[in-house]
Amino acid sequence: MKSRQLALPGVFLLEPEVYGDARGFFFESFNHAQFAAIVGRDVGFVQDNHSRSARNVLRGLHYQVGQPQGKLTRVIAGAVFSAVVDLRRSSPAYGKWVGTTLSAENRHQLWIPEGCAHGFLALAEGTEFLYKTTDYYAPRHERCIAWNDPTLAIAWPTQGPPILSPRDAQGQHWEDAETFE
């Protein structure tokens, strides 16, 4: 598996080695030892999540305080633009964001460490997004930053207004967000 750290510390893009022939393809989507070597620590996952989205659905920017979650994300149908915001005050990239495209075609995965907010925009109809988490979903610790916060100025590749959940439409401003040490 190839990997490269993106512009935020600890955020990695993972590119699996895919073996294909006339029958189809095979790739190892997760290997604990390889993953630990890439991210520089032993990571345990406790929950797998799967969402399906129509084109132009935007989910996020989500994170949890109290029970922060690291997320290993990938797309198995369609494509997303995935954005990560660094909420770690001790990070040299605090308040910065990075974005990348994950798709069923490129089979890339994105590791988002604890202390970051994450959101994605579905770029295709019927996009299916999978992610593993390092801690359980905890509604009381869940937070949401506005996807269109002017301070963050994330360059979402939207085609018209995105489709948002009521909660995501009410995301808080960056300056009001709870952050991490």
DSSP per-residue letters across 25-81: EE-----HHHHHHHHTS-----EEEEEEE-TTBEEEEEEESSS---EEEEEEESEEE
User: What gap in Å lies between CA 21 and CA 25, rounded to an integer?
Assistant: 6
Active-site residue flag, 19: no
The catalytic position among 63, 108, 118, 131 is 131
The catalytic position among 32, 62, 141, 173 is 62
Q: How many CB atoms lie within 10 A of CB 159?
A: 9
Active-site residue flag, 136: no
Give the distance from CA 12 to its chain's centroid: 10
Burial status of residue 18 (CB atoms within 10 A of its CB: 0-12, 13-18, 19 or more): exposed
Structure tokens, 104: 């069923």
**CA-closest candidate to residue 115, choices 172, 48, 69, 72:** 69
Give, for 166, the enclosing helix (H) or strand (E). Answer: helix 166-169
Which residues are catalytically annotated?
62, 131
